[in-house]
Structure 1
């Protein structure tokens, strides 16, 4: 497969390139830390129950970007660049965690003294710069951001419920000392950090209609605006891939630290301006839709050396294996249960789901997995094992309430909201067409035996997120021309199904 080779321009924000050198494993990837998939796992007759402190598998850092509010427009670029630097720091710290297991085994304070302590100091320096940039631009920075500098070590099987850990304390048990041979455990044969057997569930074991997250239920229903508009934009036949994120990290090379599939707009990378997007080609059948729809690629961890096997965002950050292209990418806009919808503003940006949900907690988690023929069974925190003849389905239902003013917000979330349980928008928000993305994949079923998984599939992600399914997410920038957007709104409000 090819990659997006568009020439990069000098970024407006600080250009970030992850600096840590990758330690190759058979030509691709890092020597990643798995350090036991589960706190209570039987393997080969040997019970591997360990204390939580003995199983530090990853680094958990408060998401500073989600805590910042009211950044003046003229400081946005600098702040986005600083936050991207912070992401690179976490990646580099995770790399060090993953490649120093022997040293950790000999020194219970190694992780705290050599990884977490220095990381806290570096994060503190960036937070200070962010506060200075906000204040210089006429804003008022939160004086309490320093509390978010500290990070923790945590085991692979412990999910953060609230994302409020910021003290940087780690009880002195980080090193583990239980894996002194320096060898990875449960690495799926390719050095990748996850997924683990515990991350998979047989679709037959998922209860129908049991998905219990607050986010992501469909906005449309029997009342209100009942129509739909389908955008036919293909499945990335043009092989447009990169590890940028124009919404979160504009002007930052490899700002996502994982590879995205792109459909729709064909000029989407970190350095694309709104003007570039408006003038770009599109893969959508309706040429008035130059919107960009993108999501992390799904990979089969089978040892395949992809085009990015040695690149940042790809194998050099643990995203390894064969990229699986969706057999179907259904992109649909629907209405609201309680009211008509209004037009989305051009260049509106929406992120649904959370690429850091494993460490942030589930507050913004959204995307779900299912199987064809079983789509009344949706699960957000597991990958699904589908029966023969059934295909894997990834579903994302986007926020469909807009504040009526902003095309983006400092944390890229506050300007939009999900409908409430009764289908209405929160006070101060108005209903817009809800984007629903359904991706279908023909995935060879992984084998799970004796607590081990062979040839698993997983979404790309930040390396410290251990390829957890809870981190799946989806991104959208509206670049429909005015006539087409009005057609979408009219169709939905009339209760018709159009494309």
Structure 2
């Protein structure tokens, strides 16, 4: 399935965790990800394990990448590589957390002394290298980055704030309301759990505050649309790279992505590679790359990556679910005309680490067909029979007018303000909207357990939380097509 044979630069930390994880893989998935066993196991008829309330469920580390600013261009590659190594360090620490439950039960300081302490030292060494690389390239590194070296353990019963949308109801968590029922659902994978799901009928209509606007609806706006049909990954192009956030790094995402559009998209693709590649888009002038983490049905299916990094070796197991439909549409601005996107503009929306980072950058909405007025960000919807699961993402649509990327891969783009205008110094570009529809059998939730759940691929320590969903885009439209997109939107027409 879309495997990549190019020689890859792999950070040392990735090699370490690859070896450790390979020792733990077996049978139906990750042995080491079945980490919810407590010091005393519950054999009361359910044949499952529960965590003690104070037990650490995952590792919460400050996101160094989002704090870095003003990295000189010639240091960007080295800095991105160090950040990718930092992600691998967290994966390594999480793997150790997951495989040492017996030791943790006998020593209250085990996690701090044997996992978090050494992790802090390893992170500090990489932060020092990042500062050195920035300064060597003529920049001025933030002297306070060292303060981000330390990580914390997040207890199993600690709730994530989400986006303020409680859906008007929720599932019984099986622990008298004191926290999430931490259960492996019988498949040895850390999440999702019952509390990650909500019946779409329990979601209040129009209760999610949209932060980034939809199509323009004012007289002064650009009201047209441009749709591009790039299929649903019929060519089976999958990998666990991230060309935007971790260029040149093998398995930089630690989870598998679906790709449509550009067919030469991996961590080593140059702008020239992208420009010369084939495309799955019907309009051959659109060689843009559109990618997102795959959804999987945790049904025991052994996928092509069942024993690989980014796949089963990092807790991403089960049948990969392709969308039944992938609608890609560009819309205008509420305040006026849009201008052309520069070629090779890179945009990340949402946050793959929202469970530990918080919801500041969370963006993707989940819903069901026929219930589109009910949207949630921090729950997976349970849809009625005949209704599809929907993932909807509306990208940032304000560009700084200069840069195709930025040091943290966010600062060169911005969301519109409440009145639909762009922040000062930014200008409106066509807004990409992605709507993915899936045919998924509805999971069952009983007695605080979810059976046959579906979940988004994630970094291991993010526990497959729905709030970690995200979407990525690199504009590789030729100049004529981009001008056509802009003209169509500004004229108020619907084109494709």
TM-score (norm 2): 0.91
Q: Aligned equivalents of 2:121 and 2:456: distance in 1?
A: 31
**Residue 202 (structure 1) aligned to one of 199, 202, 206:** 199
Q: Aligned equivalents of 2:254 and 2:341: distance in 1?
A: 29
Q: Aligned equivalents of 1:195 and 1:377: distance in 2?
A: 21
Other structure's SS at 1:423 match: coil
- Structure 1 residue ranges, 4+ long, deviating more than 3 angstroms after superposition: 13-18, 48-52, 159-162
For 1:29-178, what aligned pairs fall within 5 Å after superposition?
A: 29-35=30-36, 54-159=54-159
Q: Contact 2:346 / 2:473 at 8 angstroms: preserved in 1?
A: yes
Other structure's SS at 2:114 match: helix
Shift of 1:155: 2.4
Q: Aligned equivalents of 1:99 and 1:353: distance in 2?
A: 30
With over 3 angstroms needed to count, the CA separation of the structure-2 counterparts of 1:202 and 1:271, relative to structure 1, is: same
Shift of 1:191: 1.1
Q: Aligned equivalents of 1:44 and 1:9: distance in 2?
A: 50
With over 3 angstroms needed to count, the CA separation of the structure-2 counterparts of 1:347 and 1:414, relative to structure 1, is: same
Q: Aligned equivalents of 2:275 and 2:141: distance in 1?
A: 34
Q: Contact 2:341 / 2:430 at 8 angstroms: preserved in 1?
A: yes
Q: Contact 1:159 / 1:359 at 8 angstroms: preserved in 2?
A: no
- In structure 2, runs of 5+ residues without a counterpart are 39-43, 163-180
With over 3 angstroms needed to count, the CA separation of the structure-2 counterparts of 1:87 and 1:25, relative to structure 1, is: same
With over 3 angstroms needed to count, the CA separation of the structure-2 counterparts of 1:190 and 1:18, relative to structure 1, is: farther
Q: Aligned equivalents of 1:185 and 1:400: distance in 2?
A: 38
In structure 2, the partner of 1:220 is 216
Other structure's SS at 1:396 match: strand
In structure 1, the partner of 2:177 is none
**Residue 296 (structure 1) aligned to one of 278, 293, 298:** 293
Other structure's SS at 2:16 match: coil
Q: Aligned equivalents of 2:333 and 2:389: distance in 1?
A: 28
Q: Aligned equivalents of 1:14 and 1:73: distance in 2?
A: 20
Shift of 1:221: 2.2
Q: Contact 1:16 / 1:255 at 8 angstroms: preserved in 2?
A: no
In structure 1, the partner of 2:6 is 8
Q: Aligned equivalents of 1:185 and 1:383: distance in 2?
A: 16
Other structure's SS at 1:119 match: helix
Other structure's SS at 1:113 match: helix
Q: Aligned equivalents of 2:459 and 2:215: distance in 1?
A: 30
Shift of 1:160: 5.3
TM-score (norm 1): 0.90
Other structure's SS at 2:487 match: helix
Shift of 1:186: 1.7
Other structure's SS at 1:344 match: coil
**Residue 267 (structure 1) aligned to one of 264, 276, 294:** 264
Q: Contact 2:349 / 2:395 at 8 angstroms: preserved in 1?
A: yes
Partner deviation per Cα, 1:120-152 (whole Å, 9 max, x = no partner): 000000000100110011100000000000000
- In structure 1, runs of 5+ residues without a counterpart are 38-42, 163-183
In structure 2, the partner of 1:366 is 363
- Tell me if 1:438 matches 2:435: yes
Shift of 1:10: 5.3
Other structure's SS at 1:135 match: helix
Q: Aligned equivalents of 1:158 and 1:401: distance in 2?
A: 35
